[in-house]
Structure 1
């Protein structure tokens, strides 16, 4: 018999958190599962910790490729279940996470993605809940209206709080390998062009991050056009998007380009930051664009000081 869910966990030097992640899966109310852990050549005690957990549902495999996208793809390839769920090795699930996914799957069988709300916790203990701005506040579950608009304003989906059918995963092409970042959002975006996304407001996953403020450190790939943006620009050009999502997709592109302009500003390349900002067109994110343009005419040091001493500085512009 095939399990009801296959859970894919990429592992690389996460000996300090992998047990927490696994136990959060083992303690799910739904027990008909398999837990596939793809180790990418860890040099710490992570694989030994996995082996020390005696549960016949756990499968530990060595990765043959490179990168987290490849690890997830390899896990899906060997998965027995038609329903695939993902969990990062430093995150964890709440006990009823898979139960909520099952409910969504049964009530919204035509959806391409099933997801729950999640929470973010920093090392210092700061705890915030994710938002899905377009989802009706009166509902506990349903289809996300205007997914791309929701994604332009917030981050409604996190990989550790997403599940989907295996055939939909392959229809979307799996996680793209060879791009620097955003491979998960790339896949969700491709699927959202064709399928609805079923969503529950139950907080099913806890997403751990190492730093409270990453303003002073930005990896070089942050200055590249966001991978999903390039894809969406191409499908828009070829008129391959649903008519009712075109405006929302344009807002999503605007949001990511506003962020990219900020990254250049923070790096001190004011000229490129301004060049990007001039090309941004938006109807629903005009205040966000206004904040950017004000920042671009403010010396970076002054901007950083204002953010520290006036926490409500940006709120004044709302």
Structure 2
């Protein structure tokens, strides 16, 4: 019998699109023994949809939701050592996605968390598509604390839109931070690396998950990131500042637009990057 797995999906007004995600969860070849949905009192049929697929549904008050504390609440409920966290809009790309991420996680006893590759949906715009291709490459790797010199703050990057954790290790370092309502996955990755554990990225474990943020949405999101870095300033003190990574992103995006013949989008990309920078600096201060 393969390793038993718990899947956790926080939801809120996921709508009918959640059916596609639920269907792909049931098609997985992995030994999924429980699927826990933590629903923040949806106003639509999300809890009923989840129950119709046989998922365990725990409804919490909307005001009680927090990205850190809700995931810790779910982690405490999980009955297996390996727990996979997903978001309601992450669609597993094939039936082996969960198996692939679990196999990667289990190949090293010091590997505590692994996140999977996020592919852009087919209808994703050029700028949103590049963001996924840049942050989720086609080559797997493992991060250790020593990688800071080469990767800087990117060493602590991890996304729990699709990520697998070893519960015992996570609990040993204090679990998900209940006071953090954004960036809880980065927080956890950094704490794991500081404790001497490894984190990983499995390019063979894939989900479809992408967004086409508008200018104002990009500004607000970057402002939240800046605020997170201000509140958790130890991240920047230890792993380095984020601006250097931002510059790399801009140049790679420029190269991508030239290579794909989308030069006409340069003004739009420029505006997005300027607003991201302004938002981040405002949040940081």
User: Which deviations, in whole Å up to 9, do the C-alpha atoms of 1:72-106 show, x marking residues without a partner?
Assistant: 22211111100011010111222211211232133
Partner of 1:208: 210
SS across alignment from 1:209: coil
Counterparts of 1:23 and 1:51, CA distance in 2: 12
Q: When you count helix as a share of all residues, which structure comes out higher? A: 2
Cα–Cα, structure 1 residues 123 and 185, in superposed 2: closer, same or farther, change >3 Å?
farther
TM-score (norm. length: structure 1):
0.65
| Counterparts of residues 1-318 of structure 1 (less than 5 Å) | 4-53=4-53, 55=54, 58-63=55-60, 65-94=64-93, 95-121=95-121, 124=124, 126=126, 127-128=129-130, 129-131=132-134, 141-144=140-143, 148=148, 150=151, 152=153, 157-194=158-195, 195-209=197-211, 211=213, 213-214=215-216, 217-218=219-220, 221-224=224-227, 226=229, 229-232=232-235, 249-250=239-240, 254-255=241-242, 258=243, 285=244, 288=247, 307-308=266-267
Partner of 1:294: none
Cα–Cα, structure 1 residues 155 and 207, in superposed 2: closer, same or farther, change >3 Å?
farther
Contact preservation (8 Å) 2:143, 2:155: no
Alpha-carbon distance, 1:184 to partner = 1.8
User: Which deviations, in whole Å up to 9, do the C-alpha atoms of 1:4-49 show, x marking residues without a partner?
Assistant: 1111100111123322222221111113331000111111111121
Contact preservation (8 Å) 2:68, 2:184: yes
Contact preservation (8 Å) 2:29, 2:99: yes
Q: Alpha carbon RMSD of aligned pairs, Å?
A: 3.7
Counterparts of 1:69 and 1:76, CA distance in 2: 11
* Structure 1 spans left out of the alignment, 5+ residues: 237-245, 259-284, 292-304
TM-score (norm. length: structure 2):
0.71
Counterparts of 1:130 and 1:286, CA distance in 2: 15
* Structure 2 spans left out of the alignment, 5+ residues: 251-263, 274-285
Q: Which has the larger radius of gyration?
A: 1
